[in-house]
Amino acid sequence: MRKWITRSIFFYFLYGLLVYWYLFFFSGSGVPAPYEGTSADPSTFMSGRELLLSQEYSTIKNFLYFVTIPFEWFLLFICLITGFSRKMQQWSEATSKFFSLQSAIYFFWLSLFVTVVSFPVNWISYQISKSYQITTQTFSAWMKDEIIDFWVNYLLMTIIVIVLYWLIRRFEKRWWLYAWLLSIPFSFFLMFVQPVIIDPLYNDFYPLKNKELEEKILALADEANIPANHVYEVNMSEKTNALNAYVTGIGANSRIVLWDTTLNRLDEDEILFIMAHEMGHYVMKHIYIGIVGYLLLSLVGLYAINVLMRFIIKRAGSLLKISSIKELTAFPLFLMLLGVLIFASSPISNAVARYQEKSADMYAIEMTNNHEAAISSFQELSRAGLSQVNPPALVKIFRYTHPTMLERIVYLEKHKESAK
């Protein structure tokens, strides 16, 4: 056990050094020479201080992202190899004779362990965002969101754990297929209730105060044949200086949502372009395409987890203190494999998302025919979030669900030239 823990710490430390070297020394984020001095060059719309801060902030946040992703896998591995997972199963079995209640108790202890050990890392991330004035939340407000996160995730995941282990114990060979089939209505249910139950736990949503702007947005929606009666505003200025807008939910619960920071920092034409972009996702059915893609990946992922769990338990079950896939003790292995597979598949899902975002940009520019507003809105998004216009390649591949700001501004400029 000590040997494997030492090895895992060594390789994690080596991985962190490689990530640090890549982000801080090897990779560059400057603008290619052909675009220097153009509207895609951040030096044309950011001050010298903003350029410095965006480089520092983005690099630090990217570093934290890449080192914290395997950190949770490391925690789950430690939970297994030290026998802590088996100990938690014994606690749950001593508490109740009902397996569903045992599952809820076991997952509570596992969630609490991961949350407490991960707390310093999350706090560091919060402090960094606070120091660069991206986050505006007080510590008490941030802690409130952290606590809400814990309980929302715990309640949803407890349902999943109970159903998952019932399936594994009832259908040991085909559990992954039945779990996938049940995930379809569950995913749609979550998308339906999120705008009206989950999101309001974190923020206040209310109809857009600027009725003149709302009329113009709804006119765009009507032109795009989108059934929308209200545009919602959310008080994100209490938490961040970053900008955003989105369409959420499905069916009768779909909503057009604008952050109040976006309303405060962008002018009317820029907001209308952002809204047209979000409507483009609706018109091109990107939400439903995304659901289909997610379901296909989850089917492959659940099958892969089934095969890998059986292989690992057969080869290293004694080391990990797991004797069967049916045991609650094995759940950290399930989560660890799930996390690895999600990270490994992120380049594919991100590439699809970036293609959809470009399509929505093109839809918006055709709808509004206002290139200047489109370009200035992207410039302001970069400035407000201190985001890199041209991030390193690996950052784009693993983190970016949107084209880089350099790419977005460049293809808008090209479209502008071709439209003349």
Enzyme catalytic residues: 278
The sheet that has 205-207: what strands, in order across it?
Answer: 205-207, 231-234, 255-259, 245-248
Can you name the residues that pair with 240 across neighbouring β-strands?
135
Contact assessment for residue 69 and residue 343, using Cβ atoms and an 8 Å cutoff:
yes
3-state secondary structure of 81: helix
Closest residue by Cα to residue 165 from 326, 405, 348, 400? 326
Distances 254 to 135, 140, 251 between C-alpha atoms, Å: 27, 31, 6
- Look-up: residue for tokens 């979000």? 278
Contact assessment for residue 12 and residue 88, using Cβ atoms and an 8 Å cutoff:
no
Closest residue by Cα to residue 233 from 254, 212, 253, 263? 263
> How far apart are the two ends of the chain, measured CA to CA in Å?
69
3-state secondary structure of 161: helix
Contact assessment for residue 209 and residue 260, using Cβ atoms and an 8 Å cutoff:
no
Q: Rounded to an integer, what distance in angstroms lies between the CA atom of residue 268 and that of residue 291? A: 32
Identity of the residue numbered 364: A
According to DSSP, residue 252 is labeled: G
Cβ neighbours of residue 185 closer than 8 Å, sequence gap 6 or more:
none
**Beta strand 231-234 pairing with 255-259:** parallel
Closest residue by Cα to residue 383 from 199, 62, 132? 132
Give me the count of residues in the chain: 420
3-state secondary structure of 234: strand
